[in-house]
Amino acid sequence: MLELLFLLLPVAAGYGWVMGRNSVRQAQRKQSSILSKHYYRGLNFLLSDEPDKAVDTLIKMIDLDSDTVETHIAMGKFFRHRGELDRAIRVHQNLVSKEEISASQRESALKELGRDYVLAGFLERAENAFLQLLNSEKHFLEAQTQLFNIYQTTKEWGRAIELAENMINAGGDSDELCARVAHFYCEQAQIEWRKGNTAQAQSYLQEALKVDGKAVRPFLMLGELAIDNKEYEQAIDYLAQVPGRDIAWLSEAIPLIEQCTEKLHNHQKLENLLNQYWQQCASAYLAKVKLVAKEESSVVAADLLLQQLRKHPTMKGFKTLMGLYIEQQHNDDSTNSLRLLKELVEEQIKLRPKYRCLSCGFSGSQVHWLCPSCKKWGAVKPIKGLDGE
C-alpha cells in the first residue's frame, strides 16, 4: 500500500501542474474576454455618438491593463481635436492619478493634460502641469515652450525672464532665446514707463541691451524716453544706433531724429546719418529732400527726389514730389489737379498696412513686436516697396 502511494505521487504532481496551468490560462482568457468586452462596448458608444459613456467604459480598462495607457492618451487627444476639452481633461486626469503606470507614461499624460488646460483657458493649471515637466528629459523642451507662451499671454514678464535665464545658464544661450529675453525686458520697461517710472524703465532697457547686443527695440525706446525727458542730444545718440543693428527700422528712427534736430535747431547730426543711409528707405531719402529744400530750393529738392524715385519708387515719395511741384506753381487748374491727386495718394497711403510679419504674412498699421498671428518676437518689420519704405 505504501509503495502504491509513492508511485502515485508523480502522477499527483503532474496532475496539479496541469490543473494549475489550465487555471492560469482560464484566468488570462477571462481577463482578455473582459478587456475585449470593454473595448467593444467603448467603441460602440463612440460610434453611437455617446462619448460620455465611452469615456466611462474605456477608463475602467486602465485598472485591468496598464498597457492601454497609450490608447487612453490617444483617446484624450482625439477628444481634444474635436474640441471636447472636458472629456479630454477627464481622460488625461485619470491617467495622471494612476499610481500603477510608469513615470514615462505619467509624464506623457501630464503633457497632454497641460495642453488640454491651455486650450480650455485654465492657464494656472497648465502652468502647474508644465512646471512638473521641467525636470523631464523627454518633455522639458515642450514644457519650456508652453510656459513661455503662458507667461506671454498672462504678461508675467518677470517669470518669463527667470525661466529664460535658467535655460541660458543650463547651456541654452541661443540667439533666438537672447532676443526673446530682450523683448521681455522691453515689455517690463513699457509697463514702468506708463507708470511714470522712467528710471526703472531705462534700467530694464539697459538689461535688454546686455542680453542681446543686436537688439534694436531698446534703442528706439531709449530714444523715445530721452525725448520725453527733453534730452534731445542723448536721444539722437540712441537712435543713431538703430541702422547699425537693423537697417529695416531706420524708418522708425528718422522721424524721431528729425523731431530732435528741430528742437535743437541743429541738423548736423541728422545730415551725418543721412549721408550714410539716405538711400536705404523712403523715410531717409524724404528727410534728405527736406533738408535740401531748406538749404537750397524746392526745385533742387524735387530733382533729387525724382532721381531717387526712378530707382526706388514709393507712394510716400510720389506724394512728397507732388507737394514740391505745387509749391513751384501758381494757383491754376493744373495746380488744383495736383492737389487733388496728392489728396488721393494720401488716402491710399492711410489705407495701406505699414508693417508685415516676415514669418506668417500678418500685416497692420501698428508695430507689433510680438506677432499677433504666429506669436514670434521681432518678425514684424516695416514694409518695403511701392506701398511702404
In a domain, 184, yes or no: no
CA distance 366 to 355: 7
Whether the per-residue pLDDT at 7 is higher than 50: the answer is no
Whole domain around residue 364: which residue ranges?
352-389
pLDDT at residue 135, as a whole number:
86
* Alpha helices by DSSP H, the chain: 2-47, 51-60, 69-81, 85-97, 103-120, 123-132, 140-154, 157-169, 175-195, 198-211, 217-228, 232-239, 242-245, 250-264, 268-277, 282-295, 298-311, 315-328, 333-351
- Contact, 265 vs 294, CB < 8 A? no
The mean of the pLDDT values for the chain is: 83
- Identify whether residues 366 and 323 lie together within a single domain: no
Residues 61 and 147 in one domain: yes
Whether 179 is covered by a domain: the verdict is no
Whether residues 362 and 293 share a domain: the answer is: no
Q: 363 and 295, same structural domain?
A: no
Is 118 found in the same domain as 70? yes
User: How confident is the model at residue 171, as a pLDDT?
Assistant: 64
Q: What percent of the chain has pLDDT over 70?
A: 80
In the DSSP assignment, the letter for residue 383 is P
- State the Cα–Cα distance between residues 68 and 61, nearest whole angstrom: 7
Q: What would the pLDDT profile of 87-100 be if each residue is shown by its tens digit? A: 899 989 988 888 87
Confidence tier at 111 by pLDDT (50, 70, 90): very high
Res. 210: pLDDT tops 70: yes
Q: According to the model, what pLDDT value does residue 55 have?
A: 59
pLDDT higher than 50, residue 6: no
Q: What is the dihedral sign for C-alpha 41, 42, 44, 45?
A: positive
Place of cell 488640454: 116
Residues 377, 330, single domain; the answer is no
What's the pLDDT at 288? 92
On whether residue 21 sits in a domain, the answer given is no
DSSP string, 332-379: SHHHHHHHHHHHHHHHHHHHS--EEETTT--EESS--SB-TTT--BT-
Q: Specify the DSSP class assigned to residue 110.
A: H
CATH number of residue 80's parent domain: 1.25.40.10
Percentage, residues of the chain above pLDDT 90: 43
Pairing of strands 363-364, 355-357: antiparallel
For residues 44 and 146, state if they share a domain: yes
Which of 168-182, 185-199, 256-270 is predicted with the least confidence, judged by mean pLDDT? Answer: 168-182
For the beta carbon of residue 363, count every other beta carbon within 10 angstroms. Answer: 17
Quick: pLDDT tens for 224-250.
999 999 999 999 999 999 999 999 999
CA dihedral 110, 111, 116, 122 (to 10 degrees): 80
Which grid coordinates belong to 232?
534731445
Residues 39-75 have pLDDT tens digits of: 555 555 555 555 556 656 655 555 545 667 888 888 8
312 found inside a domain? yes
Domain end residue (candidates: 154, 175, 203): 154
Residue 380 in this model has a pLDDT that exceeds 60: yes
**Final residue before a domain boundary, out of 129, 154, 179:** 154
> Is there a single domain that holds both residue 360 and residue 337?
no
Instruction: Please give the full DSSP string across 256-289, using - where no structure is assigned.
Output: HHHHHHHHHT--HHHHHHHHHHTTSSHHHHHHHH
- How many structural domains comprise the chain? 3
Same-domain check for residues 49 and 141: yes
Evaluate whether 292 touches 267 at the Cβ level (below 8 Å).
no
Burial of 286 (0-12, 13-18, 19+ CB in 10 A): buried
Q: Is 384 in the same domain as 338?
A: no
**Does residue 175 lie in a domain region?**
no
pLDDT score for 8: 43
> Could you report the per-residue pLDDT of 125-181, keeping only the tens digit for each?
999 999 999 888 889 888 988 998 899 889 999 999 988 888 777 765 578 888 889
What is the pLDDT confidence band of residue 38, given thresholds at 50, 70 and 90?
low
Of 154, 171, 186, which residue is a domain's last? 154
Query: Is 125 part of a structural domain of the chain?
Result: yes
Q: Are residues 309 and 375 in the same domain?
A: no
Q: Are residues 49 and 127 in the same domain?
A: yes
Establish if 225 belongs to a structural domain.
no
**If you ran DSSP here, which 8-state letter would residue 101 be given?**
S
Rounded average pLDDT over 249-254: 94
Assess contact for 239 and 253: CB atoms under 8 A.
yes
pLDDT of residue 44: 59
| Residue 82 in domain | yes
Q: Once rounded to an integer, what is the mean pLDDT over residues 336-360?
A: 87
CATH code of the domain covering residue 384: 2.20.28
